[in-house]
Chains A and B, each alone.
Chain A
Amino acid sequence: MNMSELKKPKQKTRYINPYLGGVLLGLVLLAANFISGRGLGASGAAKSVIVATVNTVTPGHAENTLFYNEYNESHPEGPLKAWLVFQMLGVIVGAFISGAVFNRLKFKVEHSPKITSKRRIIFAIIGGILFGFGSQLGRGCTSGSALSGMAVMSLGGFISMAFIFGTAFALAWFFRKNWI
């Protein structure tokens, strides 16, 4: 047995056990509910950033647009002084720490060998647009609506989870070339 064979099993343990990951994530979610009386989220922070940007860059447009108007009225302290914004900054830091610990910090476009980087990026943008739009219509994304909703047994959370994953499964065949 040479050295490269000895090193091989190490590659397989790059990620933590998924069930352990699930327990830890559940405890984080529980802590959020115990401390702050609310669940985790992601798309809400994106919304805060957009509202703050539009308020600053084109204040006139923010005043004349119903969406920004409603948001600003319900957030008198400003869009960035929000729980989710602070949580999301933490997410970026936490993911970076994990990437550093497990030696995964690297600039790259991850894609199937069967497709080009360009194709991957175009699809990432389209997917992002859909997710951004859908998360506004659905009042939260996989974290805020589906996972956190399910944790507090919200009916809406279960509906959200079923339709996000159900649709992705239903459409998987059409986009298989991108992934497998």
Chain B
Amino acid sequence: MGPLIVNDIITQNTNFFLAFIIGIGFGFVLESSGFSSSRKLAGMFYGYDTVVLKVFFTAAIVAMLGMLFMSLFDWIDLDMVYINPTYLWSTIIGGVIMGAGFIIGGFCPGTSFCAASIGKIDAMFFIAGMFLGVMIFAEVYPFLEDFYKGSFRGTPTLSQALGLKDGIVVLGIIFTALGMFWVGEWAEKKFHREEY
């Protein structure tokens, strides 16, 4: 049955329309969880507010489990779902640069759009910077092309890389997340700060 677009159950235009609806859900959840506040997001890295950890990992687990169950019920063909490819070094260095951008700028791209949408001026400048960053990348791309396209490792899943069953890995991630939630709740009490 799923994914609907791959199996021609919906048209391309319907797919774009549903993308818009999905986006509304995405934006609404991010904003109502507090992701439109840079100080709330940055709280993650000082322990005074771990909303990022809680929302991020709960979402990942729900989606992961949902995918597993849907595939078990034959509702979705996992072979037809896009699996992000693994380019080892460009992912690592890209991640490091993004991590620096996160703690310096206080947003990531998705959250900056949410924040700008409700009037946060710092987010609008973050977005301007982000556009500039993409343009800088475009200009230096010829020098980075080999690095960008190098160290390709295919599209392995974590379970394939570890040689374990999907269910076991998801269970491990759930326990890890529960442990992190516990630490997060503890940190929020220890490093408590007034809401702003």
Taking CB as reference atom, which chain B residue is nearest A145?
A: B84
Range for the number of chain A residues in contact with chain B: 35 or more
Contact B60 A147 (CB under 8 A): yes
CB contacts (< 8 Å) of A98 on chain B: these are 27-29, 31-32, 118
CB contacts (< 8 Å) of A112 on chain B: these are 39
Q: Is the interface of A mostly helix, strand, loop or mixed?
A: helix
Contact B97 A26 (CB under 8 A): no
Task: Give the tally of cross-chain contacts (CB within 8 A).
Answer: 529
Q: How far is the CB of B51 from chain A (nearest CB, A)?
A: 5
Q: Which of the residues A30, A135, A170 comes within 8 Å of B63, measured between beta carbons?
A: A30
Q: Which of B156-170 contact A (CB under 8 A)?
A: 156-161, 166, 169-170
In angstroms, Cα B43 to Cα A40, docked, is 24
Interface residues of B, count at CB 8 A: 132
Residues A22 and B56 in contact in the complex (CB < 8 Å), given A139-B90, A155-B161 = yes
Taking CB as reference atom, which chain B residue is nearest A151?
A: B63
CB contacts (< 8 Å) of A171 on chain B: these are 99-100, 103-104
CB contacts (< 8 Å) of A151 on chain B: these are 59-60, 63-64, 67
Q: Which of the residues B62, B70, B137, B195 comes within 8 Å of A23, measured between beta carbons?
A: B62
Taking CB as reference atom, which chain B residue is nearest A100?
A: B118
CB contacts (< 8 Å) of B88 on chain A: these are 159
In angstroms, Cα B25 to Cα A88, docked, is 11
Residue B11 interfacial (CB < 8 Å): no
Residues A86 and B17 in contact in the complex (CB < 8 Å), given A42-B109, A167-B95 = yes
Most chain B Cβ neighbours within 10 Å, of A39, A81, A131: A131
Contact A90 B24 (CB under 8 A): yes
Interface string of B60-89 (1 = CB under 8 A from A): 111110110010000110101111111110
Residues A86 and B63 in contact in the complex (CB < 8 Å), given A92-B27, A124-B129, A137-B148 = no
CB contacts (< 8 Å) of A135 on chain B: these are 94, 98, 109, 130, 133-134
CB contacts (< 8 Å) of B193 on chain A: these are 180
CB contacts (< 8 Å) of B166 on chain A: these are 153
Contact A134 B98 (CB under 8 A): yes
Residues A120 and B122 in contact in the complex (CB < 8 Å), given A43-B109, A112-B39 = yes
Q: How far is the CB of B117 from chain A (nearest CB, A)?
A: 4
Contact A172 B195 (CB under 8 A): no
CB contacts (< 8 Å) of A156 on chain B: these are 84-87, 91, 153, 155
CB contacts (< 8 Å) of B25 on chain A: these are 24, 28, 31, 90, 94
13 contacts between A and B (CB under 8 A): A21-B33, A30-B67, A40-B22, A87-B20, A88-B113, A99-B119, A110-B122, A121-B121, A127-B126, A132-B136, A132-B137, A163-B94, A178-B104
Q: Can you name 13 extra interface pairs (CB under 8 A) apart from A15-B33, A33-B81, A36-B19?
A: A18-B51, A22-B56, A32-B22, A87-B26, A90-B27, A91-B110, A92-B113, A106-B118, A107-B121, A131-B107, A137-B144, A155-B86, A162-B95
A→B interface (CB under 8 Å): 11-12, 14-16, 18-19, 21-43, 46-47, 49-50, 54, 65-68, 81, 83-84, 86-99, 101-102, 104-112, 120-121, 123-145, 147-172, 175-176, 178-180
